Amino acid sequence: MSEATLKVRIWRGAEVGRFEAYEVPRRTSQTVLDVVTWIQRRIDPTLSYRFACRVGMCGSCAMTVNGVPRWTCRTHVTKVARDDTVTIAPLRNLPVIKDLAVDMTAFFDKWARAGGRFVPKADAPNDFAVVAPDSQERRAADAGIECIGCAVCYSGCDVVSWNGDYLGPAALNRAWTLVNDVRDGARTQRLAAVAGDAGCHACHSQQSCREYCPKHLDPTGSIAGLKRATVRAAMKGDL
């Protein structure tokens, strides 16, 4: 009895390289991560890739599958295979270290540059902060705080490809959650960090970020909020 097989093309090399073809037996509920792991363990131990939790919590296994950035542990082969073929490449917009592993440094550098760090107000130690959970600001912040920094949105964004300085959807989404944090003491600096020619105004609402975010976040909406906030600050003379 012959086994059904899956044809797999995997990027091998770094910035310059080629696709190599493998054949993998199909299994029930097989994920793309299962496929990559099978190849690395049974066919080619030199294949480099990243994963950790394998249950859709950490975001480490993000790769480009048939052209689309996804979490490979949460992508069933049956959902994406075309003509029994799956093409797997590293995430776009980040330097390739080797094969399917990319260098995430730039992604997190931009996170920091966009002011992704909470800064308490001067009187913070004096008392507990009171944050109404159903206030408009808290709901806006809550809508974006589940981001785990997997870089799928960053990978899917054409503005990131076209404008090397563009902070990107994840960093800007994080900035928006902090702008909406009533405990935050760095609003003016935050808004200055996300305005400018590499900030929120570079977003064209292509919404690939929203389309592909595995946690169903809406960076486009967050960035729109930053656009409104920066304009208000500019008109008041705070920017």
Partner 1 sequence: MAQRTARAETLLWLAQRASAAVLAVCVAVHLATIIYAVQGGLTAEEILGRTRGSAWWLAFYSIFVVAVAVHAPIGLRTIVREMTPWRGASLDGATAIAAIALIAFGWRAIGGLVG
Partner 2 sequence: MKAGSAAMSWRMRSHPNYLAFAIHRVSGLLLALFLPLHFWALGQAIGGEAALNSFLRWTESPLLKFAETGLVILLAAHLAGGIRLLAIEFAGWRDWQRTTVAVTAGFSLAAGLLFLLKVVSP
- Partner interacting with residue 64 (select from partner 2, partner 1, none; CB below 5-8 Å by kind): partner 2
Question: Nearer to partner 2 by C-beta: 102 or 193?
Answer: 102
Interface residues with partner 1 (CB under 8 A)? Answer: 159, 162-163, 191-193, 195-197, 199, 201, 227, 230-231, 233-235, 239
- Partner interacting with residue 30 (select from partner 2, partner 1, none; CB below 5-8 Å by kind): none
93 exposure class (CB count in 10 Å sphere: 0-12, 13-18, 19+)? buried
11 exposure class (CB count in 10 Å sphere: 0-12, 13-18, 19+)? buried
Q: Which of 40, 48, 163, 207 is close enough to bind partner 2 by CB under 8 A?
A: 207
**213 contributes a contact to partner 2 by CB under 8 A:** no
**230 contributes a contact to partner 2 by CB under 8 A:** no
Q: Residue 102: which H helix or E strand, with range?
A: strand 101-102
Other CB atoms within 10 Å distance of the CB of residue 181: 22
DSSP assigned state of 49: -
Q: Which of 41, 76, 117, 204 is close enough to bind partner 2 by CB under 8 A?
A: 204
**228 contributes a contact to partner 2 by CB under 8 A:** yes
Separation between Cα atoms, residue 171 and residue 16, nearest integer Å: 28
Question: Nearer to partner 1 by C-beta: 58 or 231?
Answer: 231
Q: Which stretch binds partner 2 (CB under 8 A): 31-39, 45-53, 122-130, 155-163?
A: 155-163
Q: How far is the CB of 156 from partner 1 (least distance, A)?
A: 16
DSSP assigned state of 120: B
DSSP characters for 78-129? HHH-BTTEEEEEPPTTS-EEETTEE--HHHHHHHHHTT-S--B-TTGGGSPP
Q: Which of 34, 181, 184, 218 is close enough to bind partner 2 by CB under 8 A?
A: 218
